[in-house]
Each structure stands twice: as C-alpha cells, then as structure tokens.
Amino acid sequence: MATTAAELGARLDSARAGGLSVGLVPTMGALHRGHGELIRLAADQCDVTVVSVFVNPLQFGAGEDFEAYPRDLNADAELAGRAGADLVFAPSVSEMYPSPIQTTVHVDGLTTVLEGAFRPGHFDGVSTVVAKLFAMTGRCRAYFGQKDWQQLAVVRRMASDLSMPVQVIGCPTVREDDGLALSSRNIYLTPTEREVAPLIHVALQAGAQLVADGETDPVTISSVMVAVLATELAFDLHYAVAVDPDSLQSPPAFNPGDPVRLLVAARLGRARLIDNAGAIVGLHPNPYDRKADTTCAGA
Ligand code: AMP
C-alpha cells in the first residue's frame, strides 16, 4: 500500500526503468466484482497494476453523499490483491489537495449535458482528480468502466487534448444476473427498490433492440425507454436518451450503421442509478450485447 504520491512515483519509476509497463485502475473504493474485472484486465495486460482508492471530495456536489459514501480500505485491498493488483494507492484528502486547489481541468461540451446537467461541477472534479492521478502515476494504461460512459468519454478527451502519456481503456459493464449494473451505491437500495432496479436494464435493452431493428429517430428510441420505466412509479427518471457515443449529442436522426449509445439515469429512493447500452442502427445481432461485449475498447 502506498499513501503518498512520492512513494507511488518512486515505485512506478523504478518499474518503468526496469522495462515494466504500468496499469492504473482509478476507483473510489467500496470495490465490487465490477472493479475486480477492471483490475483483472489491467493485470492481464500490464506488468505492474496500481489501484487507486480515493473518495474525491471535488466531484461531490452540495447535498450529495460524500460523507456517507461507503469506505472499507482493508476489504478493498483484499479484493484488489485477489484480482491481481500489485499496489493500492490510498492517499488522504490532504495528500491529494495539500492546499485549496486553484487549478482545475474542464473538458468543454461533454460535461454540461446528461450527468453534468444534474450534477454541476461533477466532471470538473473528476477530470481534475484523474489528471492528478495520471500525473502521479506517469506513463500507463488506465482502465475505466463503460458503466460510467460519460466519465469515460470525458477522461478519454482530456487525455487526448492534453497529450497525456496515458492510454485510456474502456471496459464492459459487470452486472448482476438480473441485469442490474454493479455499483457501490446499490447498497442504498431497500429490498423492494432492489427488486425493481433491473428495470433500467430492461429499458436499455428495449431501446437497443429498437436501434438494432433500424429505428433512426432519437425521440422514438427515448420514448420507448421512458415508457418501460414509467411502469414503475418508484423511479424518478432524470433522463433516458439515445446519443452519439462520442459527442453525447442526439442528432436529428441517426443513419443506418451508426453506433448509438443509450443512457439512463434515475433516482430510486436514496440511490441515483446510471446505466447505458450500445447498439448499431439496423445491425443484428447487437455487437454490444452483454454476452458479446467482452472486449475492452482500446485494448
Ligand atoms: P467507482 O469507484 O465506482 O466510481 O468506479 C471506479 C471505476 O470502476 C470506474 O471506471 C467505473 O466506471 C468502474 N465501474 C464501476 N462499476 C462498474 C461495473 N459494474 N462494471 C464495470 N466497471 C465498473
């Protein structure tokens, strides 16, 4: 375990000097099988795998769950080790932010829509902490989950725009058997809410099916997902949209062969759940189907 940037840097510099490649898996801890898969992939593809565990205050808005966010560093270290991590980097808030931060990273455009509209400033917090983790880690491959599609798009864009020596790799979403995407926040669900939560995945699959069947109108695709979720009153739906996977914008109409990303966010009791799925207009079988979607983009 390393807790300071100096320890981390020394360890990784000497690994790279010895010709070893470095993989980084940034997390906020409360690790589950989804994180475990990212770590496993990193460990498969890199000589030295680092898992960072840091609940980043900068990316939580007022009234969000920064204080309540689940924390269990011992369990995290154990899961990370079992999945193949060589090192856990768990800095304190004062190690990451020794003085009030005056420099932040802002990725334009991608960050004001969807999650950005509901969580103002969230992505500035994410890109700033990820930029710091990249700087502390140095040249590496960094593994992010497709579960947080918009975050992946933002981080990819930041690394590219700022010529960071980091290859960003997006990995498939790990789900429960009933389709619910694994999330550290699922523990906030009551047993009744947990039962209805997989409806988000059902809605996404309905949207993906429509796209694969050739539907080109984003509004029609969105309304089918909204209709599925409207069958369960416990959901407070924030958005259910069909967008271009990179720009995150909905065109007036998709064209046959276009990749489409479907994204849903909804509050369910105390938890705010987000999930997404991909499809290609008019293409069967859907190459992003969860059984087929086992490769890591950029790997
Ligand atoms: P978190 O600590 O939960 O914010 O996430 C750390 C990393 O794990 C992010 O890149 C997430 O996208 C990824 N992640 C979280 N949940 C899942 C999941 N169910 N499947 C795959 N990756 C995930």
Q: What is the pLDDT along the chain (299 residues), one digit of tens a residue?
A: 999 999 999 999 999 999 999 999 999 999 999 999 999 999 999 999 999 999 999 999 999 999 999 999 999 999 999 999 999 999 999 999 999 999 999 999 999 999 999 999 999 999 999 999 999 999 999 999 999 999 999 999 999 999 999 999 999 999 999 999 999 999 999 999 999 999 999 999 999 999 999 999 999 999 999 999 999 999 999 999 999 999 999 999 999 999 999 999 999 999 999 999 999 999 998 898 754 444 444 43
CB 126 within 8 A of CB 151: yes
Alpha carbon 182 to chain centroid, angstroms: 11
CA of 292 to the centre of ligand 1 (A): 19
Mutational test site, ligand 1, from 147, 149, 150, 293, max ligand atoms within 8 Å of CB: 147
Looking at the chain, the number of H-run helices and the number of E-run strands are 10, 8
- The pair of structure tokens assigned to 43 is 């460990």
Task: Return d(Cα 299, Cα 242) in angstroms, integer.
Answer: 25
CB 93 within 8 A of CB 8: no
- Asked if the peptide bond before residue 285 counts as cis, ω within 30 degrees of 0, the response is yes
Task: Return d(Cα 47, Cα 175) in angstroms, integer.
Answer: 27
For ligand 1, say whether the CB of 52 is within 6 Å of any of its atoms.
no
Nearest to 52 by CA among 94, 12, 11, 8: 8
Confidence (pLDDT) at 292: 42
**What are the catalytic residues?**
35
CA of 140 to the centre of ligand 1 (A): 19
For ligand 1, say whether the CB of 145 is within 6 Å of any of its atoms.
yes
Counting Cβ atoms within 10 Å, is residue 226 exposed (0-12), middle (13-18) or buried (19+)?
A: middle
CB 179 within 8 A of CB 198: yes
For ligand 1, say whether the CB of 40 is within 6 Å of any of its atoms.
no
Task: Give just the sign of the alpha carbon dihedral 241, 245, 249, 255.
Answer: negative
For ligand 1, say whether the CB of 131 is within 6 Å of any of its atoms.
no
- For the CA of 144, the closest atom of ligand 1 is 10
Helix (H, G, I), strand (E, B) or coil at 198: coil
For ligand 1, say whether the CB of 28 is within 6 Å of any of its atoms.
yes
E-assigned strand segments in the chain: 22-27, 48-53, 87-89, 140-145, 166-171, 235-243, 259-268, 271-280
CA of 263 to the centre of ligand 1 (A): 16
Query: For 57, which DSSP code?
Result: G
